[in-house]
Amino acid sequence: MLKKLLPLVEHALKAPVWDCRMCGQCVLHSTGMTCPMTCPKTLRNGPCGGVRENGNCEVKPEMKCIWVKAYDRTISLPLPKVWKEHYNDIRPPVDMRLEGSSSWINLVTKRDQQTPAGWSLKDGSH
């Protein structure tokens, strides 16, 4: 029941504010409250190299680059320090199976932190 209801509630709340795409593994807190899934390339670690001179998107010239916005907001918004520090995290690939599910449930169950066994971030291993 909750599994069916919560995604509806989550989408109803998050879509109008953040244009939420229900990826089911929300990282808004680490991206200056800017949804990376609204980047036309759905980059989790942007910005790409195609940002225009005016800071707008390569794909949608009329739109501010999501990642430029995320960067500006990470600096300017009064967010908790620990959230701001997460901006430079290397975010893992999206788990497509979670699309449409509630990221709130996945956060509580830590399902959103599960990564494939071969995903490792050993800093300095070159």
Contact residues for other proteins, defined by CB under 8 A: 40-53, 55, 58-59, 65, 68, 71-72, 88, 90-94, 96, 116-123, 125-126
Closest to other proteins by CB, 6 or 33? 33
Least distance from other proteins to the Cβ atom of residue 46, Å: 7
- Taking the complex as a whole, the smallest distance from the CB of residue 36 to other proteins amounts, in Å, to 9
User: 7 vs 47, which CB is nearer to other proteins?
Assistant: 47
Other C-beta atoms closer than 10 Å to the C-beta of 73 total 16
The least distance separating other proteins from the CB of residue 39, rounded to whole angstroms, comes to 9
Give the whole-angstrom CA distance, residue 105 versus residue 31.
Answer: 20
Looking at the DSSP assignment, which residues form a beta bridge with residue 56?
A: 64
Give dist(CA 104, CA 5) in Å, integer. Answer: 12
If 0-12 CB within 10 Å is exposed, 13-18 middle and 19+ buried, where does residue 27 land? buried
Q: Which is nearer to other proteins, 10 or 98 (CB)?
A: 98
